[in-house]
Amino acid sequence: MRQKTHRSSLARRNLQKLFSNRLAILGGVIVLALVLLSIFAPLLTPYDPAFIDPTQRLQPPSAEHLLGTDNAGRDLWARILYGGRLSITIGLVSSLSAAALGVIAGCISGYFGGKVDAVLLYISEIFSTFPQTILILIIVGFAGRSTLNMVLIFSITGWMGTHRIVRSRIISLREEAFVESCVACGIGSSSIMFRHLLPNTVGPVVVSITLSTAGYVLSESGLSFIGLGVPPEVPTWGNIINAAKSLDIMQNHPALWLAPGVAIALFVLGVNFLGDGLRDVFDTTQ
Amino acid sequence: MQQDIVLQVENLKTQFKVGRKLVRAVNGVSFQLRKGTTLGIVGESGCGKSVTAHSIMQLLPKNGFIAEGTVRYTGPDGQERVLSGYKRSSKQMRAVRGKDIAMIFQDPMSSLDPVYSIGSQIAENLRQHEKISEKEARTRIIKMLSDLDIPIPEKRYDEYPYQFSGGMKQRVMIAMAMICNPNILIADEPTTALDVTIQAQILALMKRLQEEYGTSIILITHNMGIVAESCDDVAVMYMGHIVEYGSIDQIFSSPMHPYTQGLLKAVPVLGIGKDNKLGSIRGSTPDASEVFAGCEFEPRCDHCCEKCRTAPPPDRELPDGHRVRCWLYAGGEDDAAK
Amino acid sequence: MGTACGAGFMLGVKTMQQSNQVILDIRNIKKYYPVMEGVFKKVTGHVKAVDDVSFQVHRGETLGIVGESGCGKTTLGKCIVRLHKPTDGKILYTLDGQERDLLTLDKEESFRTRRSIQIVFQDPYAALNPMKNILSIFDEPLRIHGFGDKAQRKEIIAEMLRRVNLQPDYMYRFPHEFSGGQRQRICIAKALSLQPELLVCDEPVSALDVSIQAQILNLMKELQTAMGLTYVFIAHDLSVVQYMSDRIAVMYLGKVVELGRSDDVYNHCLHPYTEALLSAVPIPIPNARKNRILLTGDVPSPVNPPAGCPFHPRCPKCMDICKREAPQLKSPIAGGDHFAACHLANPISKPCDE
């Protein structure tokens, strides 16, 4: 039989499974490329994305300006690169914090059940029915437009989905023998919830995070487009499209809306492929 | 073929395509079923006994197929049919399934459709094979249910599976199988999911049906006690082979194969007492996709020799019909101590 | 309670002879589940999963609990380990020479006694967290009960794996890498790593093949002798229970209907249900059984237990009194140790001892 020590792990097996899925790899590569481009923005362009140069307004793509300039004379390629930073960060941070809230709520809901669960479900329903846009309008009205406000709103309005996923997974795992085994050993509730049950819910949650990241990037673009997102000088992909909102620009300077559009589309597509791959990995093992 | 043999399986090999692997679930199985008797196929999980039954009925899943071998069925009219030659959902096979050969499964809970009444499910089977009216079908089915000791059968005909207990559901399954008066009944672990007192009822019922209707039964189980009490002949399976085959007296009184011997010693017998020790077979069953050059049981056998590792053991049949697949009995050349 | 460090653990081989010391005293345990109906969730009845069960377990012995589905044996086992909270009754457990009611302990004492009573479950596939390797599954209970530092705990784990005939370096593997039999060994090793005195085994071999079953049963017997354990062995297979147990309790519909020494219950059973159960078990010897008692009807559900004796609707020896009055668990002989809850065995007119 086996003589050597064989350190294997579920993680390694999952990774192997993921790497055999070509679409997932493609998605991962796309996402990674966009992230790297954003991180290394200063190395990839000499221009400052906020530098306004009225003499260079609406220049077409050239050797000097790779994608041309916008109607304030700012280099488009630089704005795309730096804009990526903010868009991706907003997407990621929002989905991570929404997931964190949802996971904690789901664990408590699922493990304790009863009244606690009922209360949390009620709160979750209230939040679900509240329209996100109205909430943003209100908060922007009071506190102004900022990245932090947007992330906050996304988190507060986005935890319910994860809550439901985690809750149902925990309810199904709660009666399992390995949980009873923990109770029989005297392990406490919070330890059981967060150290034993939570890792078993990682699968669906990771998938949810990847997919909602893409969702939030789109949401940010949408909100910025209607003027409720980050301030217009700050470059985000949504803001760039927002600035290209006139008929003249749309017809005569297509780079101004094509470039950010393509960036958003690529990112969302890549994340979706990656998310699908992750879902396949976690689905069959669990 | 002898007059009283209803089913003859010769060198059956069934395989499954799992991903890129080929799993050899049944590796050359041969046996006969004599009319009016019960053949027990016994073995542990993964030995291929269930797959053998499904192969006979051509009920294998999409990725399973009969690679080699024949299954020959002889009906009461004396006509011989080669079942392994029929396509899965061909007219000929469907005519045989349910009418000539019927099967009951392990889990009565999931074997019945929850949205139809049990009566209508049995009637569906009956009217598939015989051209009779709904009313006549109902009468016959109620008679069968009453035969099977289901109380108030007229009322229960219209009830749904959830209204029946496990033992009752299994009786319904038997009714469904027996309604067309099949020649062969294949029972795949019919009592594993049932309590022991209910199990006793079901086994007694099957014996009574055999006496009344002359049905030949193939009983698949992992329980040696059930085999000893309900069967006439036994085939012991391991890793897709029949390692020993004979009458129950032969197998239980003088088991020849080390696996059979180990199995019999490992079963706790009621009345054995606390101070006796159970024999056990060391190691565990290998994975079904593993391929062996020699005997599959060799890693766990205490009587093996070099030959067991390198060459597959031959089937040796004794004059009284007792058959064993082991190098220990391969006439003359045994170098292993018995 | 002081910490039990690694070295002490390895030397601590206790050989315990079967004694008459009572380690566990179950008194009138009831576990009822309310049946709620209607919009207002009105309680219309109770499912009496365990209905007034009392017995004692002696130190070093194996008490087998046997019965069919719905008899309450698993619920009872989980009540003993306090995975379920009984509706009523006392569980008196002797720990460090002191007898206390497990159901009225404060939080700290309750935590300490958890170490001493452990459970092995039926399904080895569900009993181990698939996300954790064996080392981390074992380590946490050892850590919270103060079994020394990390290195000492690792040594304990290695020793326990050796004891169940597994290689110590298996501790780095994950549950999915083991077979059913190996997983059950791991579960047994995990339960025993805390050095319990009482082990509740809830159908530990039902999910295993016959040859693996024999390995596990033999292992459990060895460990019992080596570590001085007391077993409460719950199973539906009477042959297995009889092989493992010194005394047997037969349960039906939440009640104990017969209790006695293994040989007594087998050779001179008192209750008609036990008789039917014994006669229903298939024996792997051809022509061994001549007459079998076949019970009519189904195993009843504990939702609506019959009045009087719970077994009377199926009993071949049912008398008039059985339909009216539920029999008490008594010994027909004064001072005897073989009990039955049956009017036939204990006629009302005859004075009996408890």
Question: How many contacts does A have with C, using Cβ atoms within 8 A?
Answer: 75
Instruction: Please report whether residue C11 resides in a domain.
Output: no
Backbone angles phi, psi at C211, to 5 degrees: -70, -35
User: Looking at the structure, do residues B96 and B122 belong to the same domain, yes or no?
Assistant: no
User: Looking at the structure, do residues B11 and B90 belong to the same domain, yes or no?
Assistant: yes
- Say if residues C256 and C55 touch (Cβ distance below 8 Å): yes
Torsion of CA A225, A226, A231, A232, to 10 degrees: 50
pLDDT level of residue C220 (50, 70, 90 thresholds): very high
- Say if residues C326 and C305 touch (Cβ distance below 8 Å): no
Rounded to whole angstroms, how far apart are CA atoms C332 and B311? 64
Q: Cβ–Cβ contacts within 10 Å for residue B77, how many?
A: 6
Which residue is it, tokens 């949390």? A120
Q: What is the pLDDT of residue B1?
A: 46
Q: Which of B63-67, C146-150, C204-208, C290-294 has the lowest mean pLDDT?
A: C290-294
- Counting as contact any 3 or more CB pairs under 8 A, the partners of C are A, B
Q: What amino acid occupies position C135?
A: L
Q: Look up the domain containing A252 and give its range.
A: 22-35+76-285
Strands ordered across the beta sheet of C62-66: C117-120, C198-202, C230-235, C62-66, C247-252, C255-261, C339-340
Mean pLDDT for the stretch of residues A66-88: 85
Verify whether the Cβ–Cβ distance C246 to B167 is below 8 Å. no
Q: Where does a domain end: B181, B208, B233?
A: B181
Nearest CA to C56 out of C23, C84, C90, C31 is that of C23
- Say if residues A143 and A137 touch (Cβ distance below 8 Å): no
Please name every residue paired with C249 in a beta bridge, in sequence order, or none if there are none.
Answer: C65, C259
- Say if residues C299 and C318 touch (Cβ distance below 8 Å): no
Q: Best-predicted range by mean pLDDT among A144-153, A234-243, C337-346?
A: C337-346
CA distance B337 to chain C (A): 23
Instruction: Please report whether residue A259 resides in a domain.
Output: yes
pLDDT level of residue C349 (50, 70, 90 thresholds): low
Which residue is it, tokens 């009714």? B175
Q: Which of A172-181, B26-35, B252-261, C253-262 has the lowest mean pLDDT?
A: A172-181
Count of structural domains within chain C: 2
Count of structural domains within chain A: 1
Q: What is the pLDDT of residue B3?
A: 61
User: Looking at the structure, do residues B188 and B147 belong to the same domain, yes or no?
Assistant: no
Structure tokens at B164: 């029946």
Q: What is the pLDDT of residue A149?
A: 81
Q: Look up the domain containing C314 and give its range.
A: 268-340
Q: Each residue of B322-334: pLDDT tens digit?
A: 999 998 887 644 4
Q: What is the pLDDT of residue B37?
A: 94
Instruction: Please report whether residue C321 resides in a domain.
Output: yes
User: Looking at the structure, do residues C286 and C234 belong to the same domain, yes or no?
Assistant: no
**Exposure b/e, C150-180, CB count within 10 A at least 16 = b:** eebbbbbbbebbebbebeeebbbbbbebbbb
Count of structural domains within chain B: 2
Q: What is the pLDDT of residue C198?
A: 95
pLDDT level of residue C69 (50, 70, 90 thresholds): confident
Instruction: Please report whether residue A15 resides in a domain.
Output: no
Structure tokens at B150: 């289901």
Which residue from C245, C288, C294 is facing B200, i.e. has the nearest CB?
C294
Q: What is the pLDDT of residue B286?
A: 85
Question: Model pTM?
Answer: 0.81
C279 touches chain B (CB under 8 A): yes
Verify whether the Cβ–Cβ distance C126 to A176 is below 8 Å. yes
Q: Each residue of A184-193: pLDDT tens digit?
A: 888 888 888 8
Verify whether the Cβ–Cβ distance C127 to A199 is below 8 Å. no
Q: Each residue of B147-180: pLDDT tens digit?
A: 888 888 999 999 999 888 888 899 999 999 999 8
Average pLDDT per 10 consecutive residues for chain B, totaling 338 residues:
81 90 91 94 91 92 91 89 87 87 86 89 89 91 90 91 88 91 93 87 92 94 92 94 94 93 90 77 83 88 86 89 88 46
- Say if residues A241 and A76 touch (Cβ distance below 8 Å): no
Q: What is the pLDDT of residue A283?
A: 63
Q: Round the average pLDDT of chain A to a whole number and report it.
A: 83
Q: Which of A258-262, C5-9, C165-169 has the lowest mean pLDDT?
A: C5-9
Mean pLDDT for the stretch of residues C135-144: 92
Give the domain CATH number at A228.
1.10.3720.10
Q: What is the pLDDT of residue B322?
A: 92
- Say if residues A147 and A92 touch (Cβ distance below 8 Å): no
User: Looking at the structure, do residues B120 and B227 belong to the same domain, yes or no?
Assistant: no
Q: What is the pLDDT of residue C218?
A: 92
C-alpha gyration radius of chain B:
21
Verify whether the Cβ–Cβ distance C284 to B165 is below 8 Å. no
Model ipTM over 0.90 = no
Q: How far is CA C330 from CA A33, C61, C280, C321, in A?
A: 80, 21, 25, 16
In this predicted structure, the answer to whether residue C2 has a pLDDT above a threshold of 70 is no
C179 touches chain A (CB under 8 A): no
Q: Which helix (H) or strand (E) holds C37?
A: strand C22-37
pLDDT level of residue A7 (50, 70, 90 thresholds): very low
* Residues ≥6 apart with Cβ < 8 Å to C168: C157, C158, C159, C161, C162
Q: Cβ–Cβ contacts within 10 Å for residue B181, how many?
A: 14
Q: What is the pLDDT of residue C351?
A: 45
Q: Which of A5-14, B51-60, B117-126, C270-279 has the lowest mean pLDDT?
A: A5-14
User: Looking at the structure, do residues C201 and C241 belong to the same domain, yes or no?
Assistant: yes
Verify whether the Cβ–Cβ distance B225 to C239 is below 8 Å. yes
Mean pLDDT for the stretch of residues C324-334: 88
Q: What is the pLDDT of residue A277?
A: 83
Q: What is the pLDDT of residue C18?
A: 53
* Residues ≥6 apart with Cβ < 8 Å to A126: none
Q: What is the pLDDT of residue C160?
A: 93
Give the domain CATH number at B243.
3.40.50.300
Q: Look up the domain containing B89 and give its range.
A: 1-100+183-338
User: Looking at the structure, do residues C146 and C173 belong to the same domain, yes or no?
Assistant: yes
User: Looking at the structure, do residues B91 and B4 belong to the same domain, yes or no?
Assistant: yes
Q: Round the average pLDDT of chain C to a whole number and report it.
A: 86
Which residue from A5, A200, A202 is facing C172, i.e. has the nearest CB?
A5
